Structure 1
Amino acid sequence: MTAPERPRILLVSLTFKRPEDLRAILPKLVEQAESVDAEVEILIVDNDPDGGAEDSVRGFAGTTAIVVSYVHEPHPGIVAARNRALAEAAHHDILVFIDDDERPLEGWLDHLLETWRRYSPAAVVGAVISEYASEPDPWLAAGRFFDRRRLPTGTPITVFATNNLLLDLRRVRAAGVRFDERFGLTGGSDTLFSRQLAARGGALVWCDEAVVVDMVPDDRLTRSWVLRRAYRSGNSWTRTSLALEVTALGRLRVRASVAPRGFVRVLGGSVQAALGRLTGSLSHQARGARTRARGAGMLAGAVGSVYAEYRRD
């Protein structure tokens, strides 16, 4: 597929009851849109059942020449919001996702586009660095839980999240992938989407210069949040592995493979955490606890247990 010289881009941020973050990111998105040689529109997809972001977005839209649109997706769950973004991008060449609690650094969108033009992939994934609302406690700092991967630009990858992502919609449509509703309240739909896209021949590449800053709030700077997230990660990895299999025998093989790997993680993590307590190593204590939690999530997924991290009361 030949890339269009001046692609039509839909720059999307999904939001759910984060008015302050929305007010902070909208001017940043306009700056990015104005900095590239492309037709860029900005879209906010509001997953709040009450549509609480509408007035803020429509009010801001009147202050800029860049097209800023708002859509309300009341169906609960991030999958519905992600698929709504895909639907709204029906007449665009590129869809770019960024979380509403992130801030793009200068040149972010331009770097994504440059990498897309150079490698012609189905997806370009950018780097994420963390800034904290307050200083993490020593246990969290030692575990380095909010340090994200960094890879040389152009490195092929096999899985991604949607917090800093460019999708070539022509290749996505050709692959016939969408976000799976079964993962709407559990997390993992982006993992499954990316694994399906890669399995159907879509190249996924890294862009290390396209950086966004993740603003980590205090309610995530806790040991319980980190361990719940590790458990969910293990649980959703097992579930996405099962979802990729189309036969009962294939799913049985996945369960037979994942269960012992999960057990090894539980055992190994427990040993590492115990050694950390004996030696006074906070790093071993923290990372061992996370490994144990991820393994427990993998085991739970292997026996059919589903952890709904994003369930709403």
Structure 2
Amino acid sequence: MNRLTIAIPTFRRPQDLKRAVSGVLEQAGALVGGVGAEAREPEGDAAGAADVDGGAGRGVSDVEVLVIDNDAQGTGHEAALAAAADAGVPVRSSAEGSEEPGGVGLRYVIEERPGVAAVRNRALDETGGRDLLVFIDDDEEPEPGWLAALVGLWASTGCQAVAGPVIPAYEVEPEAWVRQGEFFVRRTWPTGTVRPVAASNCLLLDLGFVRRAGLRFDEAFGATGGEDTLFTRRLSAAGGVIRWCDEARVRDHVPASRLTRPWILRRQRSHAATSVRVELALAGGGAQPAIRAKAAAGGLVRIVVGGLRTAGGTLIGSPQHAAKGARLLARGRGILAASVGGGVHREYDH
């Protein structure tokens, strides 16, 4: 039987945090005692490095919700403990967990080093004796069956990571430009699809494989994001298999402040720039000049095409064409800037 930790990074969003913790705790109790799926041998290059039980015993005996607060003042402490009290779940002071089957608990720690990568590495450090790690963000809320679906696919396939869809839940109705530009719509795939990369806001990791591969989140990406893209790309390169689980859904609560055109386009630029930084981090030094040249050319093409589509959409009164053109233009600017070392927005800088 396995021990599972669900890590929730947080920074000064106590109301969102309480909602996230409450939703996770509600599902944790139902999971403990077995996932109801037939265990299979691990996939990929990990097949030869399975644990001593050869992949058997893939049920879950203990679930710990680990809140990692990136605010040194501990602004999430009260919200986390209130959610645990409402759920009747004990608060733990260490990572040992329950000695009896059926254990569910909550633990709260502060990570003073700023940046999301430092927080995710703290999650890895706090789970040294555990088997599975799931990440969910503090502004998200799991849909029914989320946790069982993640663990069930891991148990039935023997993969090393499972990712699921993140569905936007808007605080206010977005304008047509935002909706038709599909800025918050993420791609999905059929359950079981192997993916080369995944985001970490709905992600399960097999910690045995992560430790054997020596994987960590790159803290150079701590203030900008992109640390999850680099981490999962490296996981795949090390022989790990990432599978998509379309039933493991979480809702991403999007506040009104993130529905403005300046915020959206700034994020598009930054995400595009970060994608270039990831490619540079993965490449050897000799390959970086070619990557920069390709990024510069690709960025320029996107700027031209995006600008034309934006102008055309505005001229004919099409919010969809105007928004998608603006999106392409913003991404082109980010890619071009990153080709010469700039372009990123320090979204997680504090």
TM superposition score normalised by structure 2: 0.85
**Counterpart in the other structure of 2:333:** 296
**Aligned residue number for residue 161 of structure 2:** 123
**d(CA) in 2 for partners of 1:212, 1:243:** 30
Q: Which residue of 1 aligns with 2:89?
A: 64
In the alignment, the residues of structure 1 paired with residue 257 and residue 314 of structure 2 have an alpha-carbon distance, to the nearest angstrom, of 26
CA contact (8 A) 1:241 1:254 kept: yes
1:41 maps to amino acid: E
> Which residue of the other structure, out of 252, 258, 261, is the alignment partner of 2:298?
261
Which moves more between the two structures, 12-21 or 117-126? 117-126
Amino acid at match of 2:282: L
Identity %: 45
For the 8 Å contact 2:117–2:219, the answer to whether it is kept is yes
Question: Separation in 1 of the partners of 2:195 and 2:349?
Answer: 33
* Inter-partner Cα distance in structure 2 for 1:306 and 1:84: 28
Q: Does 1:165 align with 2:203?
A: yes
Distance 2:215 2:75 in 1: 30
| Residue matched to 1:272 | 309
Letter in 2 for 1:183: F
Give the 3-state SS of the residue equivalent to 2:330 in structure 1. helix
Which residue in the other structure is 2:3 paired with? 8
Map Cα deviations across residues 210-244 of structure 1 (whole Å, 9 max, x no partner).
01111110110111111011101111000010001
Aligned AA for 2:76?
A: A
Aligned with 1:107 (options 118, 142, 145)? 145
1:185 maps to a residue whose letter is A
> Letter of the aligned partner of 1:32 in structure 2?
Q
1:243 corresponding residue in structure 2: 281
Other structure's SS at 1:210 match:
coil
Give the letter aligned to residue 168 of structure 1. D
> Matched residues in 2 for 1:18 and 1:192: separation?
26
- Determine helix, strand or coil for the equivalent of 1:160: coil
Contact in 2 for aligned 1:35/1:107 (Cα 8 Å): no
Residue matched to 2:69: 46
Which letter maps to 2:17?
L
Give every structure 1 segment of 4 or more consecutive aligned residues whose post-TM-superposition deviation is greater than 4 Å. none
Q: Distance in 1 between matches of 2:340 and 2:230?
A: 19
2:259 corresponds to which residue?
Answer: 221
Check if 1:31 corresponds to 2:26: yes
Tell whether 2:146 aligns with 1:143: no
Residues 15 and 79, structure 2, Cα contact 8 Å, conserved in 1: no
The amino acid of 1:87's aligned partner reads D
Quick check: 2:224–2:349 contact (8 Å CA) kept in 1?
no
What SS class does the counterpart of residue 250 from structure 2 fall into? strand
Deviation at 1:59, TM superposition (A): 4.6
CA contact (8 A) 1:97 1:164 kept: yes
Partner of 1:210: 248
TM-score (norm 1): 0.94
Whole-angstrom CA distance in 1 between matches of 2:299 and 2:221 = 21
Please name the residue that 2:224 is paired with: 186
SS at match of 1:82: helix
Is contact 1:77–1:310 with CA below 8 Å preserved after alignment?
no
1:35 alignment partner, SS class:
helix
Structure 1 contact 98–164 (Cα < 8 Å) conserved? yes
Alignment partner, residue 37 of structure 2: none
Match of 2:164, SS state, is strand
Deviation of the 1:312 alpha carbon: 3.9
- Are the counterparts in 2 of residues 50 and 74 from structure 1 also a CA contact under 8 Å? no
1:134 match: 172
Q: Is the 8 A contact 2:150 2:204 kept in 1?
A: yes
Q: Tell me if structure 1 keeps the 8 A contact 2:169–2:252.
A: yes
Q: Report how far residue 286 of structure 1 moved.
A: 0.2
Q: Can you give the 5+ residue segments of structure 1 that lack an aligned partner in the other structure?
A: 1-5
